[in-house]
Amino acid sequence: MTQHFRRLVFSLLACVSTTFAQDLAPKAEPLMGSNPKGTNEKRKDLAASLSTQREARTMRLSIPAPRGLIVDRNGIALAQNRVVNYLALNFPFMEKATPEMIISYAKAKMAKANQLLLKNWTLPDEKLLSHYQNRRWLPLVFSIEDNITVELSPEEMEKLKPLFEKGELLPQPAYIRHYPKGDCAAHILGFTGKTRRLPEGPIVDGDPLFEEMDGRQGLELSFDAALKGTPGEINLLFDENGELLSEEVLRRPLPGRSVVLTLDYSLQRHAENALQLHARNGGAMVVMDIRNGELLAMASNPSFNPNEFVFGIREQRWLDLNKDPRTPLFGRAFSGEYPPASTFKIVTALGALESGKVTPTSSYHCGISLLIGDRYFHNHNIKNDEGDMNVITAIKRSCNTWFYQAALDVGADAVTNMAQRLGFAERTGIPLKGEGRGNLPTNADHKILGGELANIAIGQGAVTATPLQVCQCMAAIGDGMVMRQPLLVKQVQTISEVVVEAFEPKIRREINLDPIARDAVVKGMVAVVSGDGGTGRAAGIKQVQIAGKTGTAQWKPAKDQNLAWFTGFLPASQPVLAYSVVYEGRPGERVSGGAIAAPIVREVFTKYYENAPTDDPLVAAMKDIPQALAVDEGELDPTAAAAQEAALQRSLPPPPTAEKKTVASFFRRLFRRE
């Protein structure tokens, strides 16, 4: 392969680089212009008598198309391509070549490169012989370590210049996938891998010039067909000495289509940075535009750098990633199924209020425990008896015993039906493999008894949900009328920005929450952040008023690991954004949603507001929205005294029964054997 052919390949790559500056419609014309000087007549003679020329070759090769871009909503590239150079052998034709001659030639050239670069790159003898016999017209890449092709750095290219000028070795250009923002949105983007290794046998029409890539995970996999593009085709003619006489580009490669996401890179990065700083063991954050369902951030921590997979990941690194107890390859934001804990109390409250058996002024006693059957259910976050509460105060204080009683009074169906209306136990349908479904026990599965219902009411037991589902629930409550389909991709377009597929906002279902019930719940969520004694006051920011709900869940009892949640929407009075945050506690760590998850929300939205440009459409949408009025926690229903007293009695341990005075009872009392 001559330097002329190398320039041809590089020119092909340059014309379809990541800038996509020109329209690459298929054309049947030479790319390089005229042939090398003095070859026109020889080309005609050779083409006419090709069958008599033992070493001459004509071949038709495929030119892999560069993958399309993946960009955020503002056009910031999250996945693109870049041109790299590998180090390759350039075999000349050897008259009466023997295996020894071929191997000696190849090893001598590789040794020169290794001496200059302080490398130990080599190839097996059988590969050298096979390539010379079958494919010597094409370069043979040997910059390989651990079966992974290694690119040449600019410094290495400079050191190798003398060898390139002599034609003994050559840099083989190719384009590869590149993720310019590193680990940002890695679980969403996914990564690519080599479609197949380059052929090693005799050249056949359609063989690729260099290795092709395809999607393996994330959006790279889901939109692989759109991103791949259309390969080009080139016809090459070599003389009996292996010199390139002509090339004819029959079809230029057409780059793949660009995928435009709904994500906002700035908000995504703020969320990821906050999780990396405050949720090192594991966590996730999701932010959704309530008005159209667009996902603006979907962050998971820990993460990984998809650039590690571009050339092929080393076996030890792959094992390390898979054995890491923090599971960095796991997309927690959409795949993690967690008990939603007290964030689910919002669902219980809405279900109870819409049943008609509970009103905004209905009161239950907030004691330290409640006896249900033969078991006490405790108020873990409240250490003292706090008296009677209505739903607003119960949400503000996150009183377990209030929600136990409300759920028992209205029954399981009122709670679970509301949960299903709000999207629990149902995948959202975003275009990512591995989205979690969550779980929600219902009477349709089995008869839900009092103890199980108490656990469901506070988001524990068998109830699980993804952070994405919890955020979707809050978006629906923020709207009050409809649940919108969560959107991750806005559109797919050509390199000339012609939209070929658009994903329009659509309503997933109408929920039509009762306005009185919703108003009471929203007041409670505002009180969580802005009210005296609210459990989520650490989430407050100065720019807008936030409505929220804390949650602390028992997660992995065997490892003594708990979860912290904070979720809600903003601005409270006219919601635009919904959010959810989950924090995975370390073994033995004491966590709470108000102390750990709420500050993450404050940090992310504060930084977003402070760093957003003045014309940012999201900031503009939330500008001049009035703050909610001072929290009014309402009144208690004066007719509910009897119910309050009954609830109080249920929350107290049963009195000890009288025991006859006998010798046996004397010894039981003496040794306190109860």
- For residue 653, cis peptide bond before it (omega within 30 degrees of 0): no
**Same domain as 235, residue 126:** yes
Tokens matching residue 145: 């370590």
Per the structure, the count of domains in the chain is 2
The CA distance from 117 to 158, in Å, is 10
Contact 351, 442 (CB under 8 A): no
pLDDT at 19: 41
State the residue for tokens 């006051």. 537
Residues 6+ apart with CB under 8 A from 146: 314, 315
- The residue among 479, 527, 514 whose CA lies nearest residue 631 is 527
Neighbour-count burial for 212-250, b at 16+ CB within 10 Å, e otherwise: bbbbebbbbbbbbebbbbebbbbebbbbeebbbbbbbbe
- Does residue 638 register a pLDDT over 60? no
Question: Among 5-9, 72-76, 273-277, where is mean pLDDT lowest?
Answer: 5-9
**Same domain as 626, residue 525:** yes
Whether residue 108 is contained in a domain is answered as yes
Q: What is the mean pLDDT of residues 275-290?
A: 97
Pairing of strands 258-261, 283-289: unpaired
pLDDT at 643: 53
Contact 475, 290 (CB under 8 A): yes
**Same domain as 177, residue 67:** yes
pLDDT at 241: 73
- Does residue 46 register a pLDDT over 60? no
Residue 241 has φ and ψ, to the nearest 5°, of -95, 5
Helix, strand, coil tally for the chain in percent (to 5) = 35, 20, 45
Question: Among 377-381, 408-412, 570-574, 651-655, where is mean pLDDT lowest?
Answer: 651-655
Strand (E) or helix (H) holding 217: none
- Does residue 332 register a pLDDT over 90? yes
**Same domain as 435, residue 539:** yes
Tokens matching residue 618: 């999201």
- Does residue 658 register a pLDDT over 60? no
**Same domain as 147, residue 38:** yes
Q: What is the mean pLDDT of residues 315-344?
A: 96
Q: What percentage of the chain carries pLDDT values higher than 90?
A: 73
Identify the CATH number of the domain in which residue 171 sits. 3.90.1310.10
The CA distance from 199 to 362, in Å, is 75
Q: What is the mean pLDDT of residues 60-65?
A: 93
Tokens matching residue 229: 């593009």
- Amino acid symbol at 444: A
State the residue for tokens 């025991």. 659
Beta-carbon-side half-sphere exposure of residue 334 (alpha carbons within 13 Å): 25
Contact 501, 340 (CB under 8 A): no
Q: What is the mean pLDDT of residues 250-269?
A: 96
The CA distance from 171 to 85, in Å, is 5
pLDDT at 659: 45
- Does residue 89 register a pLDDT over 50? yes
Question: Among 42-51, 237-246, 383-392, where is mean pLDDT lowest?
Answer: 42-51
Boundary (domain end) residue, out of 213, 233, 254: 254
- The residue among 267, 272, 341, 399 whose CA lies nearest residue 585 is 341
Pairing of strands 258-261, 70-71: parallel
Q: What is the mean pLDDT of residues 184-202?
A: 92
- Amino acid symbol at 79: A
Tokens matching residue 366: 């907030």
**Same domain as 344, residue 244:** no
Q: What is the mean pLDDT of residues 597-612?
A: 96
Residues 6+ apart with CB under 8 A from 125: 99, 103
Helix segments in 172-258, DSSP class H? 186-189, 218-222, 224-228
**Same domain as 57, residue 205:** yes
The CA distance from 398 to 257, in Å, is 49
Domain that holds residue 538: 333-480+504-636+644-649
The CA distance from 536 to 219, in Å, is 35
- Does residue 653 register a pLDDT over 50? no
Give bridge partners of residue 193 from the DSSP assignment. Answer: 214
Task: Render 87-151 in DSSP notation, one character per residue.
Answer: EEE-PPP-TT--HHHHHHHHHHHHHHHHHHHT------HHHHHHHHHHHTTS-EE--EETTEE-P
Whether residue 296 is contained in a domain is answered as no
**Same domain as 338, residue 247:** no
Whether residue 668 is contained in a domain is answered as no
**Same domain as 508, residue 363:** yes
Q: What is the mean pLDDT of residues 634-642?
A: 59
Q: What is the mean pLDDT of residues 408-415?
A: 97
Whether residue 239 is contained in a domain is answered as yes
Boundary (domain end) residue, out of 254, 289, 316: 254
pLDDT at 211: 86
Whether residue 317 is contained in a domain is answered as no
Total Cβ atoms within 10 A of residue 473: 28
Q: What is the mean pLDDT of residues 465-493?
A: 98
pLDDT at 55: 64
Contact 202, 446 (CB under 8 A): no
pLDDT at 9: 56
Contact 378, 433 (CB under 8 A): no
Total Cβ atoms within 10 A of residue 25: 9
**Same domain as 356, residue 250:** no
Residues 6+ apart with CB under 8 A from 260: 71, 72, 73, 75, 489, 490, 491, 492, 493
Q: What is the mean pLDDT of residues 313-319?
A: 92
- Does residue 572 register a pLDDT over 80? yes
**Same domain as 194, residue 49:** yes
What confidence tier does 198 reach under pLDDT thresholds 50, 70, 90? confident
Identify the CATH number of the domain in which residue 394 sits. 3.40.710.10
pLDDT at 52: 41
**Same domain as 550, residue 433:** yes
pLDDT at 360: 96
- Amino acid symbol at 213: M
The CA distance from 378 to 357, in Å, is 24
The CA distance from 416 to 271, in Å, is 31
What confidence tier does 20 reach under pLDDT thresholds 50, 70, 90? very low
Mean pLDDT, the chain, whole residue set: 87
Boundary (domain end) residue, out of 206, 224, 254: 254
Whether residue 316 is contained in a domain is answered as no
What confidence tier does 153 reach under pLDDT thresholds 50, 70, 90? very high
Whether residue 272 is contained in a domain is answered as no
Compute the residue count for the chain.
674
What confidence tier does 244 reach under pLDDT thresholds 50, 70, 90? confident
The CA distance from 172 to 166, in Å, is 15
Whether residue 278 is contained in a domain is answered as no
The CA distance from 266 to 185, in Å, is 11
Please report, for residues 68, 71, 220, 221, 315, the alpha-carbon distance to residue 215 in angstroms, rounded to integers and kept in the order given.
12, 16, 4, 4, 19
Contact 591, 581 (CB under 8 A): no
